[in-house]
Amino acid sequence: MNPEINSTNPTVKAIVTGTAPRPAQLAAARGILPLPQSDLLEILVALTESADEEISSNARQTLASQKEDELELNIRSGELAPRVLAYFADQENLSAPVYEAILTNPRTPPEAVARFARTSRNGELLELIALNQQLLIQAPDIIEAIINNPFRTAEAERRAAETKREFFEKERGAQQIANELRAQGKEAAAEFIEQAEFSKDLKDFATGTNLSYEDALLLAEHIEVPDAETDDSWLALEYIEDIYEETEQQRQEIVDKILGEFRLEDENEISGERVAMVQRIMRMSMKDRIKLAMKGDREARNILVRDPNRVVAQAVIQNPKITEQEVEKIASMRTVPEDVLRQIFINRKWSRNYAIMHNLARNPRTPVSNAMNILTRLQLKDLDAIAKNRNVPEAVRKQAARLAALRKGGRS
């Protein structure tokens, strides 16, 4: 049985997961346990999938015996589990008011609505579904289900076709994509698409350095930080000269560099999805990559911190969603610009993280003055290791050895 449970009642959990004794399961299947109706219905739907034929049969019979007026009230209460709503959406011969309650309940799974839209013979209910444009945008399968249903009304077909044309036909611009994302509740992604330089030149298909509509949507999936949470005050004038347009050859060299680093780290074949993501990102201008670095998710950050441009790489650590685990990894990377390591060093929060500071001290790209400062905070065993590490600058090794000797009571 599906272990996903909506109720917090321990009795529900015990029965649904099969840990309750069989007599309790059988009593539940017969509908005679003293439980709230929402809990009982969740149990009954779960028990229809029981391998015990007597239990599953009783559960189906009990569900079929529900009074429709009471069932409608329970559905409209907003307390029923999504799997219960999906179960009744799949049942035949329920009254129109019950189906209406199911179809207008925001907890009903979109895939259940799509199944209903494919098979229903009630044109008015298909119209009701078609009115919910936000749902159609979230689950385009529902649009096709309505359009292909021979029992659709003209109004249902018109509304479904309009939504398909407005949000999913290829010939649409960046604003339509932003509207689609906003309708799905993806405000940060919509903002990114609206402001991106590539939005002016979107194509049906990717050509050369141009991004396609599909590329834009796939990039938008990696946006998680809204404008209100970003801060670009760190972009001082000294960085302006580093923001320039690259040639196609330069961009390909960056793609090769980033993919090469992933291969060295993972020692495995890189997934086609990641390769495509790197190539997609490198079709963006440097300004757009900076925005993506500050607003993107973990995957986007993991790619862009490897960008050889110091502004793009530094934008990654300005991302408010970046975690200390990510920073710990970046602090050990020998391919990131010194500016990134310097910014990690001066960050108050990260400076209190021993693992991050230890990685900086061992990283040969960390500015020597920063590494020397960190040494005073390290444990003796780590000082000893750095003193013997031929990859770090000689000044850092000598200072680590001197501090280690002092700790041990010797002389430098």
Confidence of residue 207 (pLDDT cuts 50, 70, 90): low
| Across 7-11, 195-199, 236-240, 307-311, least confident range | 236-240
Q: Is residue 168 part of a domain?
A: no
Structure confidence at residue 265 as a pLDDT band (50, 70, 90): confident
The per-residue pLDDT of the chain, averaged, comes to 91
One domain, residues 283 and 237: yes
For the segment 10-34, the average pLDDT, to the nearest whole number, is 94
Angle at which helices 82-89 and 96-103 pack, to 10 degrees?
140
With beta carbons less than 8 A apart as the criterion, state whether 130 and 155 touch: yes
Q: By the 8 A CB rule, do 204 and 272 touch?
A: no
pLDDT of 171 above 60: no
Share of the chain above pLDDT 70, in %: 95
Mean pLDDT (whole number) for 228-251: 83
SS3 of residue 338 by DSSP: helix
Among residues 35, 67, 82, which one ends one of the domains? Answer: 82
Q: 3-state DSSP call for residue 161?
A: helix
| pLDDT of 412 above 70 | no
Do residues 201 and 318 both lie within one domain? yes
Residue 180 token pair = 């689609």
Task: Return left, alpha or beta for 21; rule: phi > 0 is left, psi -120 to 50 is alpha, else beta.
Answer: beta
Question: Could you tell me which of 335, 334, 388 has the C-alpha nearest to residue 359?
Answer: 334
Percent of the chain with pLDDT over 90: 76
Residue 121 lies in a domain: no
Q: Is residue 397 predicted with pLDDT exceeding 90?
A: yes
Q: Are residues 246 and 349 in the same domain?
A: no
Cβ neighbour number for residue 5 with a 10 Å cutoff: 17
Would the pLDDT of 132 be above 70?
yes
For 153-168, how does the pLDDT look when each residue is reduced to its tens digit (9 = 90+)? 999 999 999 888 777 7
Query: CB-based contacts of 366: which residues, under 8 Å, 6+ apart?
Result: 338, 341, 342, 345, 360
Last residue of a domain, one of 54, 82, 110: 82
| Average pLDDT, integer, range 303-317 | 95
Residue 325 has pLDDT above 50, yes or no: yes
Instruction: From 64, 121, 66, 65, select the one nearest 96 (Cα to Cα).
Output: 121
Q: How confident is the model at residue 238 (pLDDT cuts 50, 70, 90)?
A: low
- For the chain, how big is the Rg over CA atoms in Å? 29
Residues 6 or more apart whose CB falls under 8 angstroms from that of 180 comprise 137, 167, 168
Give the span between the Cα atoms of 351 and 327, in whole angstroms.
11
Residue predicted with more confidence, 324 or 232: 324
**pLDDT recorded at residue 2:** 47
Does residue 155 fall inside a structural domain? no
Average pLDDT over residues 78-90: 95
**396 occurs within a structural domain:** yes
Give CA–CA dist 17/100, Å, rounded. Answer: 31
Are 215 and 263 in a shared domain? Answer: yes
- Structure token pair of residue 110: 């979109």
The answer to whether residues 332 and 378 belong to one domain is yes
40-53 mean pLDDT:
96
Confidence of residue 80 (pLDDT cuts 50, 70, 90): very high
Q: Is 203 helix (H, G, I), strand (E, B) or coil?
A: strand
Q: Do 49 and 71 have their domain in common?
A: yes
Shared domain check, 328 and 263: no
State pLDDT tens for residues 338-380.
999 999 999 999 999 999 999 999 999 999 999 999 999 999 9
State the maximum Cα–Cα separation within the chain, in Å, rounded to a whole number.
Answer: 92
Residue 315: predicted pLDDT: 95
Angstrom distances, CA of residue 339 to CA of 96, 305, 344, 349: 65, 12, 9, 17
Is residue 77 a part of any domain in this protein? yes
Structural domain harbouring 27: 1-82
Question: Which are the contacts of 286, defined by CB distance < 8 A and separation ≥ 6?
Answer: 243, 244, 245, 246, 309, 311, 312
**385 part of a folded domain:** yes
Last residue of a domain, one of 61, 82, 103: 82
Within a domain: 367? yes
337, 223: one domain: no
pTM of this structure? 0.59
Q: Which residues contact 4 (CB under 8 A, 6 or more apart)?
A: 83
How many Cα neighbours within 13 Å face the side chain of 394?
A: 0
- Domain identity same for 359 and 260: no
pLDDT of amino acid 410:
56
**How do residues 268-292 score in pLDDT, each as one tens digit?**
678 888 898 999 999 999 999 999 9
Q: What is the pLDDT of residue 211?
A: 82
Are residues 207 and 284 located together in one domain of the fold?
A: yes
Whole-number Å distance between alpha carbons of 304 and 112: 39
215 and 283, same domain (yes or no): yes
User: How many folded domains does the chain comprise?
Assistant: 3
pLDDT for res 347: 95
Q: Is the pLDDT of residue 1 over 60?
A: no
Q: Are residues 186 and 302 in the same domain?
A: yes
Residue 152 domain-assigned (yes or no): no
